[in-house]
Amino acid sequence: VSFGYEDVAPEEKTQRVGAVFSNVARKYDIMNDAMSGGMHRLWKDQFVRRVKPQPGEAILDMAGGTGDIAFRMANKGAEVVVADINQDMLDVGIERAMERGIDGLSWSCQNAEQLSYPDKQFDAYTIVFGIRNVTHIDKALAEAHRVLKYGGRFYCMEFSTTEWPGFKEVYDLYSHKLMPKIGKAIAGDEESYRYLAESIRRFPKPPEFEAMIRRAGFVRTRVEKILGGAVNIHSGWKA
């Protein structure tokens, strides 16, 4: 499997992705603003508008990190479980939730590839900027399908490379040259951001990823492109 520019054994990828997020956890939120010029907030708002969380619904926010998506869904009254493989990211999230006084959340350290939940527990499963870090994407999708109730919905937001001419060149230059430099300047960590940029380039393109979602058993799949496909919202239903 690929870890940034390198090919590594699957266990090594999981372990090195762990190190990346432990390194960036404390600076994660400020880095998102710096890297996206604040735009990630708008994409996350848009994503949650599509998910349409309802009061009392059980939602699993997988790879939920420091809680950005979960906070927005809890504010709509949903009962959200934030699950992430990295306890350092969750710890930052728990602190932020306390500071903001957000209720309706629980936190759980879990690998998306092998969830501890029984079948058919959740009304919705969300995963935002997380799936490309997972070592075996097909396993994570199968688990998402398993833990959803019938009629449950799957929503995933992930980066890809944009198709807009002109913007593509700017984006490539930005993500491969500038992102690692910003990472170095703000978080003192160039390598992690080099990995993050490269992992975007390596992630399956939207049609290919949509096919994987269908193979996991989801129906009525859709892709909504933002910025010419630089960011994509994938969705599907468990029938």
Interface with ligand SAM by CB under 6 A: which residues? Answer: 17, 21, 63-65, 68-69, 84-86, 89, 111-113, 128-130, 133-134
Please indicate if the annotation marks 112 as binding a ligand. yes
Please indicate if the annotation marks 135 as binding a ligand. no
Please indicate if the annotation marks 84 as binding a ligand. yes
- Cα separation, 43 vs 58, whole angstroms: 22
9 vs 239 by CB, closer to ligand SAM: 9
CB of 165 to ligand SAM, least distance (A): 28
CB of 189 to ligand SAM, least distance (A): 14
Dihedral angle of Cα 136, 141, 142, 143, to the nearest 10 degrees = 90
164 vs 201 by CB, closer to ligand SAM: 201
Q: Which residue's CB comes closest to ligand SAM?
A: 65
Query: Which distant-in-sequence residues (6+ apart) come within 8 Å of 213 by Cβ?
Result: 141, 154, 156, 221, 234, 236
> In this structure, what are the phi and psi dihedrals at residue 65, rounded to the nearest 5 degrees?
55, -125
- Cα separation, 148 vs 83, whole angstroms: 15
Please indicate if the annotation marks 172 as binding a ligand. no
Binding site members for S-adenosyl-L-methionine: 66, 84, 111-112
